[in-house]
Amino acid sequence: MARDFQIAGPTLVSVRGGMHWASGYLRILSQLGLCQEAIKIEVKNFHRNIGADSTGPGVTVDVMVNSTECEVSMRLIHFDPLVLSCCISDSMGGATLIDPNLANPPGFNNVRDSDLFLGRKPPPGGRLLGNGLPRFASGNYYVGLNLQRADDMNERPWRFFYAYLMQQPIQHKIGVEASVVELKWRAIRYIPLWQSPAPQDFSEANANTNNAPAWVEQLKSIQKPNDTFDTYRMLKEIRTDSYDLPLWDHTTDDDSNPF
Amino acid sequence: MARDFFINGPTMVFVKGRTDSTIANLTELGLTDVPVRVRPQFRHRPIKVDAWGDAPPEVQFMLATVEITASLIHFDRDVLDACLRLSMGGVLDTGMLPIAGTRLGNKKPLFHPGSSLVGNHFVQLALSGPISGKPWRFFACYMNTIPMDFPLGVEKSAVVTNWTCIPYDRDLYNGGTGSNALYLWDHGTPS
């Protein structure tokens, strides 16, 4: 690929959530909206310096890479407030939506298109977003974040597999002008920890099977100067292909049932 | 087309608005005392590269609008008032204000009827070209910032009206093509 200006073109933000949503509303790929300005994608690598006393204090002899995550910032100007509301709920760990107009909340049958920020009951503290479940499973609250564009544009689409609205997720200014909602997404490489029944088989022979845990114990021997050995137990990470999804790729989610 | 003097001819200004307005059909607004001025306003954005200093090696076209100025001398006052009402957000009476922030398009097709918050209040502006055979049709217009300059006195009033034509569309994404193939104006015969 030759060097050239990289022009992405009109970009549509679409999202897809778990099967805990009613038909429509994030259960399928849903258009979130268009942005007022360029969407900012920040890739963050986590590096940790490794030093050795032999080289003196403060000197880095090697660097350890401890995975990567992304932050995606956008300012929505032409958006679907109901889809945004669903994303907010998922990012809160599946907050229960409350609509005072409904006889039996939660539900979406009587919600107006203009409703934004339906009342919510936040879940109790300590709730997980993934809950050890695969992508789009009911109870997995990570959102699939898609940045779509036309096929003939130079830039490919982006798909972040596990994203959520982080920290101060939105800034919503309300007035006579068209509202602009500032969103900040965090995309991580979610790795579910299996809830396999005890006792767990931590042997490597059980790795890469459906019941394999995320971690196995590994014995490691280190020779000491007096020719004896110390044996240490270390944890070695094991993943299976079905959960080993990248942080992002350059395709788009579809509406197919993943189960 | 061979090189020649370009003479548009006596230029009539036509307007057409919402189907429930008084200008639901193509209506004569009036004739002008001086030529009608059509000024497209292109938006180009230069791409700056440090290696090229302060001169841009490439430029992007970021769409356009059109400014039209017509100094009306022989015109229909009621039609002018209808254009003002639509440009002010589709209000019911001349000089009335709508809610601040009222949209003109409301995500409706052109000429869609309805009140301030419902209808499409853009005006289609057309200029005849009886000699040139090249009329102008501006699809989504409104009377802009200083919509008119209306002198009042014993002399006949020559009312300078200012219009802006924008690339209005209901679907801003259009499958990723955005504004591709959207017409800002054309030279079709208005109807």
Question: What was the pLDDT predicted at A137?
Answer: 87
Mean pLDDT of A58-84: 90
Mean pLDDT of A83-97: 83
Which pLDDT band, with edges at 50, 70 and 90, does A154 fall under? low
Is the pLDDT confidence value at B46 over 90? yes
Beta strands in chain A (DSSP E): 12-16, 30-35, 40-51, 60-79, 96-98, 119-121, 143-148, 158-172, 181-187, 215-223, 229-237, 248-249
* CA distance linking residue B126 with residue B120, whole number of Å: 18
Kindly state the tokens that stand for B15: 């307007």
- A5 contact partners, CB below 8 Å, separation of at least 6: B47, B58
Judge: A5–B100 Cβ closer than 8 Å, yes or no: no
Q: With contacts defined as CB-CB under 8 Å, which chain A residues touch B175?
A: 150
Kindly state the tokens that stand for A12: 């549509």
Higher per-residue confidence, A242 vs A74:
A74
* CA distance linking residue B85 with residue B96, whole number of Å: 8
Give the gap in angstroms from C-alpha A192 to the nearest C-alpha of chain B: 35
Mean pLDDT of B77-87: 97
Kindly state the tokens that stand for B99: 């809610």
Q: What is the pLDDT of residues B125-184, one digit of tens each?
A: 999 988 888 899 999 999 998 898 998 989 999 999 999 999 999 999 988 888 999 999
Question: What was the pLDDT predicted at A96?
Answer: 63
Question: What was the pLDDT predicted at A103?
Answer: 38
**Chain B neighbours among A 138-157 (CB < 8 Å)?**
148-151, 153
Mean pLDDT of A233-249: 55
* Cβ neighbour number for residue B40 with a 10 Å cutoff: 12
Q: Is A7 on the interface with B (CB under 8 A)?
A: yes
Mean pLDDT of B182-191: 90
* CA distance linking residue B48 with residue A155, whole number of Å: 20
Question: From the list A5, A7, A78, which residue is nearest B172 (CB)?
Answer: A78
Mean pLDDT of B81-103: 95
Q: What is the pLDDT of residues A2-41, one digit of tens each?
A: 888 888 888 999 999 988 886 667 888 999 999 999 999 9
Question: What was the pLDDT predicted at A111?
Answer: 40
Q: Classify residue A203 by its DSSP letter.
A: S
Question: What was the pLDDT predicted at B127?
Answer: 96
**Portion of chain A with pLDDT greater than 90, in percent:** 27
Q: What is the pLDDT of residues A175-193, one digit of tens each?
A: 888 888 899 999 998 877 6
B132 and B122 Cβ atoms separated by less than 8 Å: no
Nearest to B170 by CA among B191, B144, B142, B140: B140
A150 and A122 Cβ atoms separated by less than 8 Å: no
Judge: A10–B176 Cβ closer than 8 Å, yes or no: yes
> ipTM of the predicted structure?
0.78
Judge: A177–B175 Cβ closer than 8 Å, yes or no: no
Is the pLDDT confidence value at B122 over 90? yes
Is the pLDDT confidence value at A105 over 50? no
Judge: B175–A153 Cβ closer than 8 Å, yes or no: no
What global pTM score does this model have?
0.76
Higher per-residue confidence, B83 vs A150:
B83
The per-residue pLDDT of chain A, averaged, comes to: 74
* CA distance linking residue A210 with residue B112, whole number of Å: 59
Q: With contacts defined as CB-CB under 8 Å, which chain B residues touch A34?
A: 172-173
* Cβ neighbour number for residue A50 with a 10 Å cutoff: 10
B26 and B14 Cβ atoms separated by less than 8 Å: yes
Question: From the list A34, A175, A177, which residue is nearest B173 (CB)?
Answer: A34
Weakest-pLDDT range from A215-219, B10-14, B74-78: A215-219
Q: With contacts defined as CB-CB under 8 Å, which chain B residues touch A153?
A: 176
Top residue of A5, A37, A113, A179 to mutate, by most chain B CBs within 10 Å, is A5
- Phi, psi angle pair for A88, to nearest 5°: -65, -45
